[in-house]
Amino acid sequence: MLSNKKLFSVRGFDFYLHHLLIIGVLSLSFSISAMIRGQPADYGFQLNEFDPFFNYRATKYIVDNGIPAYFDWHDDMSWYPFGRNVANTSQVMLHITSAVLYGAFGGGDLYGFTIIFPLVFGALTAIVVF
Q: What percent of the chain has pLDDT over 90?
A: 56
pLDDT band at 80 (very low <50, low <70, confident <90, very high): confident
Question: Which pLDDT tens digit goes with each residue over 25-60?
Answer: 999 999 999 999 889 888 888 888 888 899 999 999
Distance CA 85, CA 74 (A): 5
Global pTM reads 0.80
For residue 102, the tally of other CB atoms under 10 A from its CB is: 20
Does residue 89 carry a pLDDT above 70?
yes
Mean pLDDT of 21-27: 92
The b/e string for 26-52 (b: 16+ C-beta within 10 A; e otherwise) is eeebbeebeeebeeeeeeeeeeeeeee
Q: What percent of the chain has pLDDT over 70?
A: 98
pLDDT of residue 85: 92
Domain spans of the chain, in order of start: 2-129
Alpha helices in 1-130 (DSSP H): 17-37, 50-65, 67-70, 86-89, 92-104, 110-129
Distance CA 26, CA 30 (A): 6
pLDDT of residue 68: 96
Does residue 3 carry a pLDDT above 80?
no
